[in-house]
Homo-oligomer: A and B are copies of this chain.
Amino acid sequence: MNAFPPLTRPVRLSVDCMGGDHGPSVTLPACKAFLAQHPGAELLLVGLEADLREAQVWQRCRIVPASEVVTMDDPVEVALRKKRDSSMRVAIQQVKAGDGEPAADACVSAGNTGALMAVARYLLKTLDGIDRPAIASLLPNHSGGYTKVLDLGANVDCSAEHLLQFAVMGSALVSALDGTERPTVGLLNIGEEAIKGNDVIKRAGDLLREADARQVLNFHGNVEGNDIFKGTTDLVVCDGFVGNVALKTAEGVAGLMAGILVQEFTGSLYGKLAALVAMPVLRRFKRRLDHRRYNGAALLGLRGLVFKSHGSADAFAFEQALNRAYDAARNRLLDRVHDRIIAAMPAMSGAQPEFASAGGLPPSRQAA
C-alpha cells in the first residue's frame, strides 16, 4: 500500500446549506466555526441566495446559488427528477469531475439519506470495481476511539462480493481518518467461528480470508454485535439491513439507559440532591457518549466524496460532519479507495478485468 501524504493545498468542501431539519440556521453557524478552526479550508456554500446573505462577507467562502430545496420527506424520485436545481444536487455537482478538475474535494449534506444517495449515485457514478455504494459511520468504543461500520442501510441484500468491496472501501476510510495503514477488519456474524452464519456470510468470510492471504486486507475474522463497542476491530463490515438494525438498536439501548438514569436522578428528592453533587461526573459521562461527536457518515464507492450529516444535527454536530469530510479529503480518501480497489482486484471476483489498466479514477483536484 502506497503512502498518501496529506494535501498541502487548501481543502475545499461544498456544503448543502439547506439540508436537514434546520437548514441555514444550523449549517451557517457550523460553517463559520469550521472556517475558524481550519485556516487551510475553503467552503462553497450552496443554497437559496436570500438565506445565505450573512455569509457573503466571509473569507475563504463562495456562495453557489441553488433555487430549490429537497425536503426531508421528498421521495427519491422528486429529488432525482423534479428538483434539478436543488441545493443538494448542486452541492454534489461540485465534487463531480467534468472535463477538468471538480470544484470541491468533498460534499456535506444533512438532507434525507435516500435522496442524497440516489442523487450522488446518479451524478457521480460508482467507482470501477464497486457495484454499490455503502454508508459508513462511526460508533464509539471502549478504547476511547470509534469503530467504523458499513453498510448502515444503503443495501438490503448484499452478496459476499459486496461485503468484500465494503471491506476494501472501509479500510481506506479508516486509513484516511485514523492514519492506520493496515486497519483490522471484522465480519459481523452471530459467532466467532468461521462455520457460523448464513451462506452469504460464510462465503464473504472465505473471500475476506483470501484477500487477507494476498495482503490486500487485514482480516481479523468474525465479530459479534458487542465487538463494535469493544473496539475489537477498526472496521466492521455487514449487510445494510443488519447494520441499520444494529445502529438503531444501539440508539435504542442508549436512549433507554439515559432515560432511566435521568428518571432515577430526578424521581426523588434524594435523587435530585445526588444529581447536584454528581453533576460534573454525569456531564463528563454525557460528553463521552455524545452522539453529535461522531456525526458524519461517508457515502463510499462513488467517484467523489460525499458525507451525510444527521438530519437533526445542531451546529456542533454539523461541524463534526464538516470536520470528517475535511479529514477524509485532506488525507485523500478517494485516492486511497482507488488504490485499495486496484490492489484488491485479483481477490474481487465479478470485477471488470480491464479495470486495473484503465486507470479508473476520475480527475481529482490537483494533489499537492
Q: Are B280 and A252 in contact (CB under 8 A)?
A: no
Report if A285-B256 is in contact (Cβ < 8 Å); known contacts: A190-B241, A245-B225.
no
Knowing A142-B259, A260-B288 touch, does A250 contact B248 (C-beta < 8 A)?
A: no
Number of copies: 2
Q: Does A53 contact B (CB under 8 A)?
A: no
Cβ-defined contact, B228 with A249, below 8 A:
yes
Contact of A240 among B153, B190, B238 (CB under 8 A): B190
- A254 and B156 alpha carbons, distance in the complex (Å): 26
Is A255 on the interface with B (CB-CB < 8 A)? yes
Asked if A274 is at the interface of the complex by the 8 Å CB criterion, the answer is yes
Inter-subunit contact B229/A252 (CB<8 Å): yes
Contact A285 B264 (CB under 8 A): yes
Contact between B265 and A156, CB atoms less than 8 A apart: no
Q: When chains A and B are docked, how far (Å) is the Cα of A277 from the Cα of B125?
A: 58
A217-250 vs B, Cβ < 8 Å mask (1 yes, 0 no): 0000000111111100000001011101111111
Task: Indicate if A78 sits at the interface (CB-CB under 8 A).
Answer: no
Any chain B CB within 8 A of the CB of A3?
no
* Cβ 8 A contact of A281, one of B197, B256, B270: B270
A79 at interface by CB-CB < 8 Å: no
B271, A253: Cβ atoms under 8 Å? no
Question: Is A33 part of the binding interface, using a Cβ–Cβ cutoff of 8 Å?
Answer: no
Distance in angstroms between the alpha carbons of A254 and B256 in the assembled complex:
10
Q: What is the CB-to-nearest-CB distance from A238 to chain B, in angstroms, rounded to a whole number?
A: 8
Q: How far apart are the CA atoms of A124 and B163 in the complex, in Å?
A: 38
CB-CB under 8 A from A273, the residues of chain B are 277
Question: Are B242 and A255 in contact, CB atoms less than 8 angstroms apart?
Answer: no
Cα-based distance from A284 to B277 in the complex (angstroms): 17
- Of the A-B pairs whose beta carbons lie under 8 Å apart in the complex, a sample of 19, sorted by A's number, is A141-B256, A142-B255, A142-B256, A142-B259, A156-B190, A156-B198, A157-B199, A188-B245, A225-B244, A225-B245, A226-B255, A227-B252, A228-B249, A242-B245, A250-B253, A254-B257, A260-B288, A274-B281, A275-B278
A-B pairs with the 8 shortest C-beta distances?
A: A225-B248, A226-B252, A225-B249, A229-B252, A190-B244, A229-B256, A253-B253, A274-B278
